[in-house]
Copies of this chain bind each other. A is one copy, B any other.
């Protein structure tokens, strides 16, 4: 079994890409696509049913994103290595992914041949993170926000007025403004909305 083909699960909501990828990976003698999924929950179900060696997950999928699926797989199928592919490499996601026990994290700009190599790499027990994404994550550093600051900023994400945030967080309006101000200062933003964008980009909310 260890010398047999690597059994692969493919999960991506874009049928066009998933199908094309399945076809290309099938050209590799030592890779076998045993299941495909178009959503997070479906990916989990397929993984339980087929117990693949490697799961190739898109980061953004309906239902549950790649990292959430990886977290569930971590406990349910410890032997299944997870490789995440993504279009928009946001630093915070990489951090979350590694915390979830993901073994590989690459942007979709890699070639199919390279992806096949990486599937073998993670199957062999090694890790691989795209160097550019890693650099971004390192330069972004850890979140300087305290728990409350992050919480309030999250509530402010959809442009809600302070009164609404205060109610949802059970705080006085002045307090909410205070946390927002503090977060804005720490992030070096012009106002809270720019702060939300920045925190999003760095994956801190």
Interface of A toward B, CB cutoff 8 Å: 13-17, 19-21, 23-24, 38, 85, 87, 107-112, 115, 158-161, 189-194, 196-197
Pull 18 A–B residue pairs with CB atoms less than 8 Å apart, ordered by A. A13-B109, A14-B17, A14-B108, A15-B109, A15-B111, A16-B17, A16-B21, A16-B111, A16-B115, A17-B20, A17-B108, A20-B21, A23-B24, A87-B87, A159-B192, A159-B193, A159-B194, A159-B197
The CA of A87 and the CA of B18, in the complex, are separated in Å by 13
- Neighbour of A158 across the interface among B19, B24, B197, CB < 8 A: B197
Point out the residue from B13, B108, B190 that lies within 8 Å of A159, measured CB to CB.
B190
Q: Within the complex, what minimum Cβ distance (angstroms) separates A66 from chain B?
A: 15
CB proximity of A198 to chain B, nearest CB, Å: 10
Known contacts being A23-B23, A24-B23, is A108 close to B194, with CB within 8 Å? no
Docked CA distance A152–B4 (Å): 61
A104 CA / B15 CA spacing, docked (Å): 18
Q: Which B residues touch A108, using CB under 8 A? A: 14-17
Known: A20-B23, A87-B87, A158-B194. 15 other contacts (CB 8 A): A14-B17, A15-B111, A16-B21, A16-B85, A16-B115, A17-B20, A19-B24, A19-B111, A20-B21, A20-B24, A159-B193, A159-B194, A160-B190, A161-B191, A193-B193
Q: Which among A20, A21, A38, A196 has the greatest number of chain B C-beta atoms within 10 A?
A: A20
Q: How far is the CA of A13 from the CA of B196 in the complex (A)?
A: 27
Could you tell me the distance between the alpha carbons of A20 and B110 in the complex, rounded to whole angstroms?
11
Determine how close the nearest CB of chain B comes to the CB of A19; give it in whole angstroms: 5
- Residues of chain B within 8 A (CB-CB) of A38 are 109
For the complex, give the distance between the alpha carbons of A112 and B193 in Å: 40
